[in-house]
Structure 1
Amino acid sequence: MKRELNMAVTILLSLSLFGSLAFASGGGSVIAAKPLGVEKDATSFTQEINTDLLKVLPFKDSRDFKNAQKGFIARGEEVIKDKDGNIIFSTKEFDFMQNLKKKAPATVNPSLWRQMLLVNIAGLFKVHDHIYQVRNYDLANLTIIEGKSGLIIMDPLVSAEAAKAALDLYFEHRPKKPVKAVIYSHSHVDHFGGVRGIVNDDDLKAGKVKIFAPYDFMENAIAENVMAGNAMSRRASYMYGNVLPKDVKGNIGAGLGTTTSAGTVTLVAPTNIIKEDWEDHVIDGLHFEFQLTLNTEAPSEMHYYIKEYRALCPAENVNHTMHNLYTLRGAKVRDSKVWAKHIDNMLLKWGDKSDVLFAPHHWPSWGTQDIKKHVAQQRDTYKFLHDQVLRLANHGYTMDEIGDMVKLPAELDNNWASHGYYGSISHNARAIYNFYLGYFDGNPAHLHKLPPEPAAKKYVEFMGGADNVIKQAKNTYAKGEYRWTAEVLSHVVFAEPDNQQAKALLADTLEQLGYVAESGPWRNFYLSGARELRTGVKAMPTPNTASPDIVQNMSATMLLDYMAVRLNPEKAVGKKMKIGFNFTDTNELYTLILQNSTLNNRIGLDDDADTRIVTTRVTLDNIMLGKLTIAEGVKNGAIKVEGTKGKFKELQGMLDDFEFWFNIVTP
């Protein structure tokens, strides 16, 4: 039954917004190598690139620093721990940045350094007479809105422990009132995962707490990372710099926030779903106007406006950074045209009525004119990218060409919030091309290219062998031509994985690219790649999001669909079977159908099923959470097997187990 349990655990461990949160520990084989060296200093070329930015960007503009510190009340506890004393978040980890103040070290892009100084400002802040935020207690902000008799909490962070600590900080300085409502602005885990840290079961069961969320929230809150969850999670370990030390040569944050908390991810289903494009609701005596903004930064997202406070929340569609139209961890490309249109509709409806704009990331904006300007610049950033990518595509330029061609106009380039601290012009432009035209650029020579390993061997052979490539790469590295150096050396590493000289030089090259990257995720990708080349793939413990709340809210269809993703067709050749499931507590019937090396599932129990498994969804959840094995369930009567025995076990033997710590920068 070990394999059967492993199947369930694998499904569970794929459930995370950021993926990097998904695994309790690395499993399977781990490739470690003899260290090839340590982090290097910035080269003269890197220093020159970063120094030149100081001359062209408006670093004298200090308004963001004033706004980020405005209303500061208290920093609160610097280390947040779980019930067992484990540190789940620390505001101290990035204090080395504040100690250096505003002078960026040579190993960090000064624009990214400025952004992360702003993001690192932590504590409780007064946004409005009746609106408060706790910032940098997690990746997102906890927003507390004071209603007529209680509190309305927006976006309760990633974990229950972090959310509780944030609310406790608020209660240290404001009257302690009951939580009357929670708002999930969208379906990403940093906006709902800590909900049980601020509400309790008794109040939920008694209906004392309403939970508002956008249409299709529950499906999207869980579904995004299930099917490709293992690959997405591994890539997210690069995107968020999980393996990197927190210092000036390593992880300084991710542009959107510093990092994520490592506590317990929870989920409570919404009681009120916003289904219409525009809806009005009275919540604890306050008039909320909601705008549904599906398929923007998240597939399920909404804006809202509080009439009495003249306060506007644009969810995560308006930030102090260019966001991702495509996230480097891997996800479906987002619709930039729809994104910009929803921002414009929000501006049209509430722009002239707003005195304060607050969001689940970064710091607020105050004053109607400043708000309108900020919102319009965010709208125009995404719309400009959309239109220019398609203009160039219709001129015949390809995805990679366009990624290097698009430049923001001066009005937007001089706007800090249009800079790519989280997204980037380069990969967002490619995302728009892919959204409309796919990955293929139309050149038939690119239609059926060789995979990386065999192609790499051919490249190296054509370039005169590994020694010659390394010799030439040393010259281009010495000239500061890092992009080309990385490309050619990657071929050598994939052709000769044990070539230590190539790996060492590639690591040095990726490191310099990381030092000049303006995007936090780009920096983390480059530096993570360099570290992996130097030290090998090493499993690291990461938090487990496989909480009962997440498991219990997964649909049976989702679980069975994921099982199909794991089917190894070679092991299923010639096999045919039908397995029925009868979940007696939820009155759900499903049938799994294996034929043609393909696993389908359908609602309903087929009469000709070979095997019928009668159990409860609660039993299945307990198996998934590791509280019960299938053998134990059969023995204690929680699981009854009717018809042909052993079919489910046979099916289990056809399923792949996914290795999390797979190689990325080496074959």
Structure 2
Amino acid sequence: MYSKIIGSGLLITTAFFAVADQYNMSLNYEPITMKNGAVTTQPASVVDKAWHVDKKTVTPITEGVYRIAGWGIGNVIAVQAPEGWVIVDTGDSMTVAKEQRAALEALLNDSLDVAAVLYTHSHYVFGTQAWMGENTKVYAHEWMEKHLHADNGVSALAGNFNARAMIQFGMLHPESGPDAFPNQLGFSMDKLSGEKGYVSPDITFAHNEIETHHIAGTEVIVLPSPTDVTDSVAYYFPAKSLMVTNAINGDGGIFNLYTLRGDRYRDPIRLVEAADLLLSYDFDFHVDIHGAANTTRKEAVQSIHAFRDSMQLIHDQTVRAISLGKDAQGAAEFVHMPLAIRQDKEIYGQVESHVKQVYNGIMGWNGWDVYDINPLRTNEFAKKYIDSLGGVETVIEMVKSSNQKQSLDGWQWSLYLTSQILEVDANNADVKQLRADAARALGQRTSSANARGFYISEALLHEGKLSIEGHELHSFQQLGQMMGVIDEQRLKKSPIASNVEYLRYLVDTQKAQGLYAEFNLAMNDSDAAFSIVLRNGIIQVAQLPNDGVTISLSHAQWSDVLLGKTRFSQLDPSLKDFDKALTLQP
């Protein structure tokens, strides 16, 4: 162990790591206390400073290029071009974007004429209206808006995605005290509920194509750069010797190859290829949407190499582990990285999670244990397991003893045991508190923001301290259902095609057995038309007309159908089977 003083005058004790065994490396820290009372780890405590987001600043990168940062983890990049300003990404909300624009204009002592807004991807697009002028054009990947609506619009996945994001980013955590988030990798509720000013793109880029555009009088080369999402692109400004990227910055820690909130598979090899493509261009300045800027060619190359090499290493060593006969957990325990690449770098995700994701992407969920092919139901397993240990009371004593060890393995074992107890005795208050104690202890000792968000949220949940809009949460599933509820406003803002496709995910197959019905839906306030068929427990939405009746509705009238205000049998008696097969919210 060694101790040191950081800038705040805080004494920190950090554990040395055994080179031979890196498993759970992100958990091997002694907790410290920050100024806001957050109990956390040294790497987590310095993230904001390392990423240069500890203060709200507008920083000149080179002549006519500015990095606007400190309003969260997402940077905004402003580039002065001959025919106006180009803004790359627009942040989390209108409130933030207005402040960012005002800060840039104050520095320049001039108002801005914004000629173009460029989106790198679908995550930081919600302040656009604050930058718009009379002739501003918006540019993005051709899939960007589709992905945006899938994650945030009327989608069967939106509730789950948003709920898990709230958990991971600590959105419901207190603002101060031990459970507060230690850095800007934790978000406020404004991330979800703040005023949104998204503007759809006017010009889109073809997937996986290198394109050259002349924007605001300057050349911009658009590079395919599918990092955390496949709609991601990088922008090269030759006149400024500037490369702007999304999530390709090795100085900020190991890229979040797998995010605990869940997301589509992030193939590490596509990230390696994206980095190699960047390095084939000649640029002196590199600004990523996340992290500090690289203001020399040498810094940029080192940073991008660090990013791509860590991704290749995780991929190649996971494949090596598979070749040695290891399953996902075995691979997570096996993969070793040079300390210079890994130590203190797991500030967002953690390597074990990344390895398991790569294993699953290559091999799927099945390992070598044939028990896993057809395991007992979760509840049945918990009952048998607890009985084998001597019953609930005996297992509770084991949990108490395990917590009292005040060790990582003690708290980890407590979480496993309490999972089984709560499966058979969901309302046991004593067990909930024991579980909360173990989860909080691990959350205070991890460098990973992802892991902390889940651990501390778990603790608060079981202590009855997690609530949203005055409603106490009793489960994370409850939060997902709340975040997934559709209403008139969400349906109004969502494209009609998304609203119609949503019907597919409302089928109750137990009720739908043996039912068949079909109709054609023609929108009377647009040119959209759909063929909708209920068959074999699924609803197929297509374009070619079927043999059923044709129903003419407006966007708003279709919303009433999805909201359960209008029954299908009211539209036409032949559609009564849709009423039987679907679970619509009242």
Please classify the TM superposition score into its range, dividing by the shorter chain length: 0.7 to 0.9
Give the counterpart letter for 2:56 in structure 1. Answer: A
Counterpart residue type for residue 129 of structure 2 = R
Task: Give yes or no for the alignment of 1:308 onto 2:239.
Answer: yes
Say whether 1:575 aligns with 2:509.
Answer: no
Give 1:81-480 correspondences, 5 Å limit.
Answer: 99=35, 107-118=39-50, 119-174=53-108, 175-188=110-123, 191-199=124-132, 203=134, 208-224=135-151, 226-252=155-181, 256=185, 258-259=187-188, 261=191, 262-275=193-206, 277-294=209-226, 296-318=227-249, 320-350=252-282, 353-354=283-284, 356-414=285-343, 419-479=345-405, 480=407
Instruction: Please report the RMSD computed on the Cα atoms of aligned residues, expressed in angstroms.
Output: 3.2
| Shift, 1:130, TM fit | 1.3
Structure 1's 284 and 162: CA in aligned 2 closer, same or farther, altered over 3 A? same
Query: Structure 2 vs 1, CA of residues 278 and 192 (structure 1 numbering), >3 Å: closer, same or farther?
Result: same
Q: Distance in 2 between matches of 1:108 and 1:331?
A: 26
String of CA shifts for 1:607-640, please: whole Å, max 9, x gaps.
Answer: x31x4221344x45876999xx966xx9xxxxxx
Cα displacement (A) at 1:243: 2.1
8 A Cα contact 2:44 2:183, kept in partner: no
Listed as ranges, the gaps of 5+ residues in structure 2 are 1-10, 19-32, 471-481
User: Matches of 1:273 and 1:370 in 2, distance apart?
Assistant: 31
2: CA distance, partners of 1:579 / 1:442 = 48
Name the SS for the 2:90 alignment partner.
coil
Counterpart amino acid of 1:525? F
Counterparts of 2:483 and 2:267, CA distance in 1 = 31
TM-score normalized with structure 2 length: 0.84
Deviations 1:287-331 (A, max 9, x none): 22221123x211111111211221111222335132322221222
Letter in 2 for 1:173: L
| Secondary structure in structure 2 of the residue aligned to 1:264 | coil
Q: Against the structure 1 CA distance between its residues 218 and 578, is the aligned structure 2 distance closer, same or farther, given a 3 Å change threshold?
A: same
Cα deviation, residue 198, structure 1: 1.6
Deviation sequence 1:201-223 (CA, Å, 0-9, x none): xx2xxxx2221212322222222
Where do residues 516-531 of structure 1 align in structure 2 (5 Å cutoff)?
Answer: 516-531=445-460
* 2:495 corresponds to 1:586: no
Q: 1:132 to 1:599 in 2, by over 3 A?
A: same
Q: Which of 428, 431, 436 is the matching residue for 1:502?
A: 431
**Which amino acid in 2 is paired with 1:53?**
T
Report the Cα distance in structure 1 between the residues aligned to 2:585 and 2:183, rounded to whole angstroms.
27
Contact 2:389 2:395 in 1 (8 A): yes
* Residues 47 and 183, structure 2, Cα contact 8 Å, conserved in 1: no
Residue 71 of structure 1: aligned partner: none
CA offsets per residue over residues 82-110 of structure 1, 9 Å max, x none?
A: xxxxxxxxxxxxxx95x47xxxx782011
Higher relative contact order (CA 8 A, sep 6+): 1
Give distance in 1, aligned partners of 2:575 and 2:81: 53
Q: Secondary structure at the match of 1:173?
A: helix
For residue 253 of structure 1, report the CA deviation from its aligned partner: 5.4
**Which structure 1 residue ranges, 5 or more long, are not aligned?**
1-49, 58-95, 635-640, 660-667
Query: Could you say if the C-alpha distance between residues 358 and 499 of structure 1 is closer, same or farther in structure 2, counting changes exceeding 3 Å?
Result: same
Contact 1:112 1:518 in 2 (8 A): yes
User: Is the Cα–Cα contact under 8 Å of residues 265 and 545 in structure 1 kept in the other structure?
Assistant: no
Does the 8 Å contact 1:255/1:421 carry over to 2?
no
Whether the 8 Å contact between 2:170 and 2:186 is mirrored in structure 1 is no
CA contact (8 A) 1:460 1:491 kept: yes
Tell me if structure 1 keeps the 8 A contact 2:45–2:182. no
* CA displacement at 1:651 relative to structure 2: 2.8
2:146, 2:521 → 1: CA distance?
Answer: 22
Is the 2:94–2:130 Cα contact (8 Å) retained in structure 1? Answer: yes
Supply the AA of the counterpart residue of 2:309.
D
1:601 maps to amino acid: V
How many aligned residue pairs are there? 539
Q: Counterparts of 1:623 and 1:329 in 2: how far apart (Å)?
A: 32
In the alignment, the residues of structure 1 paired with residue 450 and residue 514 of structure 2 have an alpha-carbon distance, to the nearest angstrom, of 45
Give the letter aligned to residue 153 of structure 1: I
User: 1:385-414 CA deviation, whole Å, 9 max, x = no partner?
Assistant: 011111001111110122232232123125
Residue in structure 2 matched with residue 656 of structure 1 by the alignment: 583
Which whole-Å CA distance do the structure 2 matches of 1:469 and 1:477 have between them? 12
Structure 1: distance between partners of 2:315 and 2:128 = 36
Once the two structures are TM-superposed, the CA of residue 444 in structure 1 deviates from its matched residue by: 0.9
2:14 is the counterpart of 1:53: yes
8 Å Cα contact 1:584/1:615 also seen in 2: yes
CA drift of 1:649 comes to 7.2
Output the CA distance in 2 between the equivalents of 1:335 and 1:368: 27
After superposition, the Cα gap between the structure-2 partners of 1:426 and 1:570, relative to the gap in structure 1 and judged at 3 Å, is same
Distance 1:452 1:242 in 2: 30
Residues of 2 paired with 1:151 and 1:620: CA distance?
A: 42
Q: For 1:363, what is the secondary structure of its paired residue?
A: coil
Q: CA separation in 1, counterparts of 2:232 and 2:43?
A: 29
1:580–1:613 Cα contact (<8 Å) kept: yes
Cα offset, 1:491, TM superposition: 0.9
Q: Distance in 1 between matches of 2:447 and 2:582?
A: 42
Instruction: Using structure 1 for the length normalisation, give the TM-score.
Output: 0.74
Tell me how far apart the structure 2 counterparts of residues 374 and 544 of structure 1 sit (CA, whole Å). Answer: 39
Alpha-carbon distance in structure 1 between the residues aligned to 2:111 and 2:311: 41
**CA 1:536–1:598 in 2, change beyond 3 Å: closer, same or farther?**
farther
